[in-house]
Amino acid sequence: MKHAASSDITHQQDTSTDSFDILYNQYVKKVFQKCLSMTKDSDIAQDYTQDIFIKAFTKLDTFKNRSSFSTWLFSITHNYCLDQLKISKRNPAERISNELEFNLIDSDYQESTDFQLQQLEQLLAYMPADEVTLLRLKHEYNFTIKQLSERYQISESAIKMRLKRSRDRLLSLYQAS
Domain identity same for 19 and 79: yes
Q: Summarize the confidence of residues 25-48 as an average pLDDT.
A: 91
User: Which range of residues forms the domain containing residue 169?
Assistant: 115-176
Q: What is the pLDDT of residues 52-103, one digit of tens each?
A: 988 888 888 888 888 888 888 898 999 999 888 888 777 665 555 555 555 5
DSSP per residue, 100-147:
HHHHHHHHHHHHHHHHHHHHHHHHHTTS-HHHHHHHHHHHTS---HHH
Q: What domain count does the chain have? A: 2
Residues 56, 23: contact at Cβ < 8 Å?
A: yes
Same domain, 133 and 171: yes
The answer as to whether 103 is a domain residue is no
Q: How confident is the model over 38-49, as pLDDT tens digits? A: 889 899 999 999
Query: 18: domain CATH number?
Result: 1.10.1740.10
Domain boundary among 90, 105, 135: 90
Backbone phi, then psi, for 156, in 5-degree steps? Answer: -60, -40
67 and 138 part of one domain: no
Q: Are residues 76 and 131 in the same domain?
A: no
Which of 90, 106, 138 terminates a domain? The answer is: 90
